[in-house]
Amino acid sequence: MSKNCRSLNSEPLIFPHPCPIMLVFLTRRLPEDGIKILENAGLDVEIFPEDRQLTKEKIIRGAKNADALISLLRRAEG
């Protein structure tokens, strides 16, 4: 268990309770090094599988059960 492991209400967890796994939802794939940083920090990473702009509804659906959202913007072409 990490020394920094906290419950969702920021109170220290009581042993032997395992640290909850936090889920991060990504709207686009990060470079592999970025994903490894998140996973090495003990986070579960969910990535939207398609490389396209998401609708508001798809972002809400993907983030509904997540603890954090990382929304990546795409540069406009032209």
**Tens of pLDDT, residues 11-60:** 554 544 456 678 999 999 999 999 999 998 889 999 998 888 889 999 99
d(CA 61, CA 64): 5
Residue 30: give the domain boundaries: 22-70
With respect to residue 60, please indicate whether it lies within any of the assigned structural domains: yes
With respect to residue 27, please indicate whether it lies within any of the assigned structural domains: yes
d(CA 66, CA 38): 14
With respect to residue 29, please indicate whether it lies within any of the assigned structural domains: yes
The total domain count for the chain is 1
With respect to residue 12, please indicate whether it lies within any of the assigned structural domains: no
With respect to residue 63, please indicate whether it lies within any of the assigned structural domains: yes
Pair of tokens at residue 40: 């090495």
With respect to residue 17, please indicate whether it lies within any of the assigned structural domains: no
Model's pTM, two decimal places?
A: 0.68
CATH number of the domain at 52, please. 3.40.50.720
